[in-house]
Chains A and B, each alone.
Chain A
Amino acid sequence: MASTEEDGSVEEKENNNKKRTKSAIAVAWLTFYNIAMTAGWLVLAMAMMRFYIQKGTHKGLYKSIARTLKFFQTIALVEVVHCAIGIVRTSVIVTGVQVCSRIFMVWFITNSIKQIQNEESVILFLAVWTFTEITRYSFYTFNLLNHLPYFIKWARYNMFIIMYPLGVAGELLTIYTALPYVRKTGMLSMRLPNKYNVSFDYYYFLVIVMLSYIPLFPQLYFHMLRQRRKVLLGEIIVEKDE
C-alpha cells in the first residue's frame, strides 16, 4: 500500500522543537537519507519515462528498472530502525507494516512471479509509488532544512486522494492476475505429510492478503484525510476516545 505518515500536523510544529533536542548527527543523517531517496525515486521515474518514450510500449519496462526498484524499496527498511531508535517520531509498527507491504509486493509478487511483470497493473502501481515517494521524501527533506515550499506540502496532502485508490487498484489487480500462476506452480507452498507437521498454501495466503485490503485501506485513507484537514485547513478535530 502507499506509504502514509502518522503525524502530519504535529510534525510541522514539533519539527522545530524536535530539532533543538535531536542531535546534529541524526539531522544530518536523515537529511542525507531523504535526499538520497528522493534522488533514487527520481531516477526510477525518469528511467520509466525514458523506456516508454523510446520503446513505445510498457513490455519489458519492469525488467529494465527491477534492480533499481528492489534496491531503493529494500533500503526503506532502515526507516523502521529510525523509528525504533527514536530519531523519527512515528510508531515502529505503522512504519514496519507499510515497508513490509511494499517489500512483499516487490519481492514476493513481481520479482517471483515473472509472468505478470508486463501487466498494466504493475505499471500503474509503480507510477503511483514513484510519484508518492518523490513527494514524501522531498517533503521530509525540505522539512529538515526548514524550507518547505507550499506546493510540496499541498502535493503530499492532496495527491493521495487519487493516488491511494489508484495504487491499491494496481496492487490488487496484480495479485489477482498472479493467482493462476501461483496455483499452477505451487510456489512457496508446503504440503502434508512433513516432519514439521505444518502446511502453507501461498494461493490462499494471497487471497487472504487481498481480502485484508478491505478493512485496512479505508482506515488508512480516512486517517490521511483527517491529517489533511488538520494540516491544510487547520481544523481542530476532537479525537474519539478509545
Chain B
Amino acid sequence: FKHGICTVEILDAKTKDKLCFLDKVEPNATIGEIKSMFHKSHPQWYAARQSIRLDPKGKSLKDEDVLQHLPVGTTATFYFRDLGAQISWVTVFLTEYGGPLLLYLMFYFRVPFIYAPKYDFTTSKHWVVHLACMCHSFHYLKRLLETLFVHRFSHGTMPLRNIFKNCTYYWGFAAWMAYYINHPLYTPPIRYYINHPLYTPPPIYGEQQVRIALIIFLFCQVGNFSIHIALRNLRPPGSKTRKIPYPTKNPFTWIFLLVSCPNYTYELGSWFGFTLMTQCLPVAFFTAVGFIQMTVWAKGKHRSYLKEFRDYPPLRSPILPFVL
C-alpha cells in the first residue's frame, strides 16, 4: 500500500495529449473526487460526461474506486473520454412521460387542427373512450409520480441524444394511438350478433370485453406499482448495491417466484388490457413493440442476475413464467 501523496496525470484516450496534471492527490482519493478536480481545469467537461479509464480502450472506472486500490504507481496515468452532453435520468423520464399524458388529452378534447373543424372540442359518444382516457392518463401520471418519489436510479445521467430517441418513441406512439381512439369515427368493441336471425341494429357494446380489459389493466397497474415499491425497498437510500428481489407480504410480488422482471410482465399485461379495451390496431402494435423491447431488457437483467449471484433461484424466467 501507498503512503503520502500521489500525482495524477490525465491523457486524452484518442490523441494521448496531456490534458491535466494533478499533484498533491491523497492516496485515498476516489475517482469521483479526481473527476471534480479535472472539471475545475476543464470546466466544459462536468463530471457526468467524463469517462476515466486505466487503458484507452478499457472500461470506465467507477466513481467509488479509490486511487490506492488501483494498479497504479505513485504517478497514476488515466485516460479520458468525453461521453458527450449528459442529461439526468429524472429529466428524461419526466419529459418522456409528460408528453404522452398531455398529447393524449389534446386528442381526447379534440383540440383544433386534428380532426375536421366540426368536431373541435366535442367529446366522443362512446363511454369506452372516456374510460380509455382515464386509464391512459392514470398510467402516465403513475409513471411520473414513481419517477419523482419511488425509483432509485443507479446511474445519474444518460447521453443527451437518448432523450430525442425516447421522446420520439413515446410521443409518436401516444399521438398515433390517441388519434384513432378519440376519432369521431372510432368503433368500440362490439359483441357480434350480426348473423343471429333475431339481430336488430344498433349493435350492443362489447361491455363484457371492456369490463375484462379494465380488470386486467387495473390488476397490472397495481402489480407494477407493487414491484416498483419492492425494488425500491431492496436498496437503502443513497446506496448503489444490488440484491436479489424476493416475494414480500404483498401478493402482487409473489410473481417474483416465477419471473426476474415482473415489472415488465405487469407492464405488458397493462397494455394488453388497454388493447382489449380499445380494440385499436395501433395500440396492439405499441404493445407488441414494447413487449419486444422489454423482453430484451428482461433477458439482459436476468443474465446479469445469474452472473452476479451464485444462488439465484433457478425456477425464474426473465419475463414470462416458464416461457420467455
Which residues of A come within 8 Å of B, CB atoms? 192-199, 241
Contact A197 B187 (CB under 8 A): yes
* Least Cβ–Cβ distance between A232 and chain B, in angstroms: 27
Tell me whether B180 and A198 are in contact (CB under 8 A).
Answer: yes
Compute how far the CA of A198 lies from the CA of B281 in the bound complex, rounded to whole angstroms.
6
How many chain B residues have a CB neighbour from A under 8 Å?
Answer: 14
B295 lies within 8 A of chain A by Cβ: no
Is the C-beta of B14 less than 8 angstroms from some C-beta in chain A?
yes
Hey, which bits of chain B sit against chain A, CB under 8 A?
A: 14, 81, 180-181, 183, 185-187, 190, 278-282
| Distance of A167 Cα from B183 Cα, bound (Å) | 41
The residue of chain B having its C-beta at the shortest distance from the C-beta of A238 within the complex is B14
Instruction: Provide the residues of chain B in CB contact with A193, threshold 8 Å.
Output: 185-187
User: Are B187's CB and A195's CB within 8 A?
Assistant: yes
Q: A241 contacts B14, CB within 8 Å? A: yes
Q: CA of A196 to CA of B186 in the docked complex: distance in angstroms?
A: 9
Instruction: Determine whether the beta carbon of A197 is less than 8 Å from that of B279.
Output: yes
Give 4 nearest A-B pairs by CB, closest first.
A198-B281, A192-B185, A193-B185, A197-B280
Assembly CA distance A193 to B126 (angstroms): 14
Contact partners of A192 in chain B: CB under 8 A: 180, 183, 185-186
Beta-carbon nearest neighbor of A200 in chain B: B281
Set B81, B181, B183, B279: member contacting A195, Cβ < 8 A: B279
Docked pose: A195 CA to B180 CA in angstroms = 11
CB distance from B119 to the nearest CB of A (A): 13
Count CB-based A-B contacts (< 8 Å).
31
Contact B185 A196 (CB under 8 A): no
Question: Max chain B CB contacts within 10 Å: which of A192, A198, A199, A241?
Answer: A198
Q: Which residue of the partner chain B has the closest CB to A194?
A: B187
Q: Are B186 and A197 in contact (CB under 8 A)?
A: yes
In angstroms, Cα B279 to Cα A37, docked, is: 45
A197 touches B14 (CB 8 A): no
Docked Cα-Cα span, A199 to B190, in Å, equals 19
A241 vs B183: C-alpha distance when bound (angstroms): 45
Chain B nearest CB from A55 CB (Å) reads 47
Complex partner residue of A196 from B81, B183, B280, CB under 8 angstroms: B280
Contact A198/B282 with A192-B185, A193-B185, A241-B14 known, Cβ cut-off 8 Å: yes
Shortest Cβ distance from residue B160 to the other chain A in the assembled complex, whole angstroms: 13
Once the chains are docked, how many angstroms separate the CA of A198 from the CA of B81?
47
- Residues of B contacting A197 with CB < 8 Å? 180-181, 183, 186-187, 278-282
Cα–Cα distance between A220 and B180 once the two chains are bound (Å): 36
Complex Cα gap A195–B81 (Å): 54
Shortest distance in angstroms between B175's beta carbon and chain A's nearest beta carbon?
Answer: 14
Query: Bound complex: CA of A139 vs CA of B279, how far in Å?
Result: 51
Tell me, in angstroms, the Cα distance from A150 to B279 when the chains sit together: 60
Chain B nearest CB: distance from A171 CB in Å? Answer: 27
Residues of the A chain whose Cβ atoms lie less than 8 Å from the Cβ of B278: 197
Closest to A196 in B: B281
Sample of 16 more A-B contacts, CB < 8 Å, known A195-B190, A197-B183? A192-B183, A192-B185, A193-B185, A193-B187, A195-B187, A195-B279, A196-B279, A197-B180, A197-B186, A197-B187, A197-B278, A197-B279, A197-B280, A198-B180, A198-B280, A199-B180
